[in-house]
Amino acid sequence: MEWVAVAGGFVAAAVRAGTPLLWAALGETLTERSGVINLGVEGAMLVGALAGTLGGFAGGPWVGVIAAAGAGGVASLVFAVLAIVARADQIITGTAITLGAVGVTGIVFRRAFGSTGPGLDLETFPSVSVPLLHRIPVLGEGLFHQPALTYLAVLVAGALAWFVFRTRWGLALRAVGESPEAARAAGISVRSVQLVATVVGGVAAGIGGATLVLAQVGTFAEKMTAGRGFIAIAIVVLGRWHPMGVLAAALFFGGASALQFLFQAMGFDVPYQLFLMLPYLLALAALTGVVGKARGPAALGVSSDEG
């Protein structure tokens, strides 16, 4: 019985830790499919986390999510204007956006909560059980007793897959990411597609940040995303730019983060820092194993010449 509880707890923790990553990675998948790599996704998550906290205090968790979506969208809009419209280097612009997000959230956070922080009395998302299914041994608790945002993320993954591979807008998106010249010749406005894909991607990253606060940690702290946005980028590669692959990869990384829980529950005395390192090392390993076999959008990261 002990084993069942531990395993069930592990699955639940894995899904919980994987959900913010999933949101951000789905957003980045959309963005990268348009040929844009947005390292500002880390910054979008961070402003999303803070906006989610402020919105959560103001009007409850759903208001928090909406505020986070808006904040993530705005952060990515700034990125998009610089990197897509003005054609500044995407990698460095993304780094700068993340840097700026650290500064902005720092200022706003201190202003709003002082140096003591927001405390822990933020209303978070309750876990919702799926009838019957949540009673499945081991997996049930983890997969079917989760906050609404988790179920929503899975639905979004499916919707994104349908959008990318089954609609004419998805076809246009892929064409832009693979060959902007060809897309332009087909009458597609490359810049518009990239702008929309980047901003919507940022919205998803913002929601990811809100998920971190409102469905996982329960409070905000400076720099609390701690590189999750960058891990999301690795997840996109590991998931081979396919929403369903990204879903699986995000769960895998959630599992890596939850290992600490598992090891502690099993009574192993391993320094916790090793678990802090693990997701990043796994991300590296994943990139190593996947790059070369899977191919990303051909025009990824290349600033396009004209409209």
Partner 1 sequence: MSCFLLDVTPLSSVPTARLDLRDVAKRFGPTTALDGVSLTVAPGEVHTLLGENGAGKSTLMHIAFGMLQPDRGSIVVDGVPRLITSPRMARDAGLGMVHQHFTTVPALTVAENLALAQGVAAGQWKRSPTFQDPLLGRLSDGLDPGAPVEQLSVGEKQRLEILKAVVQGQQMLLLDEPTAVLTPGETTDLLQWVQAFAAAGGSVVFITHKLAEARLVGDSVTVLRHGTVRLTGALGEFTTEALAQAMIGRASARTVAPKRPSARSDGDVVVRVRNLQLAARGQSTNPEGSGVSFDVRAGEIVGLVAIEGQGQRELLLAIAGVGSAAPGTVEVVGRAVLIPEDRTTEGIIGEFSLVENIALASDAAAPWVGRWGTLDWEALRQRTEMVVRTYGVQAPSTDMPVRSLSGGNQQKLVLGRALAANPSVVVAGNPTRGLDFQATTEMHQRLQETASSGVAVLVYSNDLDEVLALADRILVVSGGQVLIPDRADRDTIGQLMLAAERTP
Partner 2 sequence: MNRWMTVRRSIAAVLGGLGLLAIGLVAAGYDPGAAFGALFRGAFGSWYAFSSATLPRSVPLIILGLGFAIAYRSGALNIGGEGQFLVGAIAATWLGGMMGGVPPVLAIPIVLAGSVVAGALWIAIPVLLRLRFGVLEVISTLLLNFVAEALVSLMVQGPLQEAKGIYPQSDPIAVPSRLPIVGGTRLHLGFFLALALIGAAWFLFHRTLLGFRMKAIGLGPKAAHLVGRISVGSLLAVSLLVSGAIAGLAGGVEVTGVTYALFQNLSPGYGFTAIAVALLARGHPLGIVAAGVLFGALEAGAGAMQRDAGIPAVAVYVVQAVTIIIVLLADATLRRRPTPAAAT
143: Cβ contacts below 8 Å, ≥ 6 apart: 11, 15, 133, 134, 136
Q: Please, are residues 22 and 208 in contact by the beta-carbon 8 Å criterion?
A: yes
How far apart are CB 38 and partner 2 at their closest, in Å? Answer: 12
Of the two residues 185 and 276, which places its CB atom closer to partner 1 in the complex? 185
Instruction: Choose the one of partner 2, partner 1, none that binds residue 234, judging by a C-beta under 5 to 8 angstroms depending on kind.
Output: partner 2
What is the C-alpha separation between 137 and 139, in angstroms, rounded?
6
Residue 267 contact among partner 2, partner 1, none, beta carbon within 5 to 8 Å by kind: none
DSSP secondary structure letter of residue 112: H
Q: Which residue lies nearer to partner 2 by CB, 87 or 134?
A: 87
Which is closer to partner 1, CB of 186 or CB of 285?
Answer: 186
Beta-sheet strands, E only, within 36-168: 127-129, 145-147
Between 195 and 214, name the residue whose CB sits nearer to partner 1. Answer: 195
Determine contact, residues 194/35, Cβ cutoff 8 Å: yes
Smallest distance from partner 2 to CB 68, Å = 19
Min separation Cβ 298 and partner 1, Å: 6
Q: Where are the beta strands (DSSP E) in the chain?
A: 127-129, 145-147
Which tokens sit at 129?
Answer: 């059980």
Tell me the C-alpha distance between 95 and 276, whole Å: 22
Interacting residue ranges for partner 2, rule: CB under 8 A: 39, 82, 86-89, 91-93, 95-97, 99-100, 102-104, 106-111, 222, 226-227, 230-231, 233-234, 271, 273-274, 276-277, 280-281, 283-284, 287-288, 291-292, 303
DSSP 8-state code for residue 133: G
Nearer to partner 2 by C-beta: 156 or 232?
232
The residue among 167 and 276 lying less far from partner 1, judged by its C-beta, is 167
Copy the structure tokens of residue 290: 């996947």
Give the shortest CB-94-to-partner 2 separation in angstroms: 9
Q: Minimum distance from CB of 187 to partner 1 (Å)?
A: 3
Q: Which residues bind partner 1 (CB under 8 A)?
A: 165-168, 170-172, 174-175, 178-179, 181-187, 189, 295, 297-298
Instruction: Compute the least distance from the CB of residue 3 to partner 2, in Å.
Output: 29
298 binds, among partner 1, partner 2, none (CB under 5 to 8 A by kind): partner 1
Identify which of 136, 125, 156, 158 has the alpha carbon closest to the alpha carbon of residue 52: 125
Taking the complex as a whole, the smallest distance from the CB of residue 292 to partner 1 amounts, in Å, to: 16
Q: Which two tokens stand for residue 230?
A: 């960058």
Please choose which of partner 2, partner 1, none residue 184 contacts, taking the beta carbon within 5 to 8 angstroms, the exact cut-off set by kind.
Answer: partner 1
Question: 105-121 as b/e, with b when 16 or more CB fall inside 10 Å?
Answer: beeebeeebeeeebeee
Measured between alpha carbons, how far is residue 186 from residues 7, 183, 233 in Å?
A: 52, 5, 29
230 interface partner picked from partner 2, partner 1, none, CB below 5 to 8 A per type: partner 2
What are the angstrom distances between the C-alpha of 221 and each of 77, 155, 232, 277? Answer: 24, 29, 20, 20
What is d(CA 55, CA 129) in angstroms, rounded to the nearest whole number?
A: 25
* Closer residue to partner 1 (CB): 145 or 174: 174
**Minimum CB distance to partner 2, residue 235 (Å):** 11
Choose the one of partner 2, partner 1, none that binds residue 271, judging by a C-beta under 5 to 8 angstroms depending on kind: partner 2
